[in-house]
Amino acid sequence: MKLVRIGDKGTERPGLVDDEGRVRDVSSFVDDWTGTTIGDEVLSKLKAQNIDRFPLVDEDVRIGAPVSNVGKIIGCALTYGKHAQEAGLETPKEPMFMLTARTAINGPYDDVVIPKGGTELDWEAELVVVLGKGGSYIPVEDAMDHVAGYCVGNDVSERQFQLERGTQWTKGKSADTLKPFGPWLVTKDEIPNPNALDISIQVNGETRQSSNTGDMVFSIAELVSNISQYVTWEAGDIMFTGTPPGVGYGMKPQLYMKPGDIMEPTIQGLGSMRNKVVAYE
């Protein structure tokens, strides 16, 4: 299933994408897509419904981030060996991760705002994992039982804030609008192997990143399990799983985004997003 949230910012309502690619409003069935409603129990009841009874929505309706009331965003770092190389860093022997402010969440087609004072805005196409069940000290062999599904993500990063202001990943990744993800939550039953998905991004129509999640040095299960040794997962949490090589920071000369630029990340089986970069006002 593909779960979406539709409507103006702050007043989104839940929807789903039917077999013909049309969006239907399911607010008569569930109040919203949150950590308490994306679990197996609610989704199995939804699958038993006659989908045709849910009304179609206008094609031009805004699509928001697919999960509401996200508890926390955890971002994984240097999970692709070649990205570590382009950053001049060693590939980690175990997962590295950071917390990012949930106020950075953005819709899959909304504008991305350059933070006030920012000068080095960069793209990072990433697979996003949405947790459907919480837990601590999760064994690797049980980790996928805690996953609800997957989304396309763009871990947009302000490199000057990240690297020149105390070397703080959180500073560079937490400004408002810097975490678009979507366009929908694809439930895990539709993605047999999340460790074998083509992932890419186009910036102004030019391919800048092109890889496969199979190039990650840790599997999704290993990431979920390892993080749970240090942080308690809650249903509705999201995990950005790291980016492949091809970011602007790694180019020679380095290339950063300016107002009017367009970022379009795509992941096999999950869809695409499109975000325009705009200046801070």
CB 172 within 8 A of CB 207: no
From 139, 234, 235, 146, select the one nearest 188 (Cα to Cα). Answer: 146
Give the start-to-end residue ranges of the domains of the chain.
Answer: 2-63, 67-279
* Residues in Cβ contact with 245 at an 8 Å cutoff, skipping those fewer than 6 apart: 80, 82, 83, 85, 86, 209, 211
Among 91, 157, 132, 161, CA closest to 239: 132
CA distance 44 to 49: 9
pLDDT at 167: 67
pLDDT score recorded for residue 169: 80
Region for 37 from its dihedrals, namely left if φ exceeds 0, alpha if ψ lies in -120 to 50, beta otherwise: alpha
Q: Are the beta carbons of 266 and 247 closer than 8 angstroms?
A: no
The pTM of the full predicted model, rounded to 2 decimals, is: 0.95
Name 147's Cβ contacts closer than 8 Å, sequence gap at least 6: 129, 130, 131, 132, 188, 220, 224
The pLDDT assigned to 12 comes to: 98
pLDDT of residue 81: 82
What pLDDT does residue 164 have? 80
Pick the CATH number of 67-279 from 3.30.200.100, 3.40.640.10, 3.90.850.10, 3.40.1400.10: 3.90.850.10
Closest CA to 67 of 175, 156, 185, 180: 185
pLDDT of residue 166: 67
* Host H or E run for residue 169: helix 169-173
Residue by residue, pLDDT tens for the chain (281 residues) are 999 999 999 999 999 999 999 999 999 999 999 999 999 999 999 999 999 999 999 999 999 999 999 999 999 998 998 776 776 777 889 999 999 999 999 999 999 999 999 999 999 999 999 999 999 999 999 999 999 999 999 999 999 998 887 667 889 999 999 999 999 999 999 999 999 999 999 999 999 999 999 999 999 999 999 999 999 999 999 999 999 999 999 999 999 999 999 999 999 999 999 999 999 99
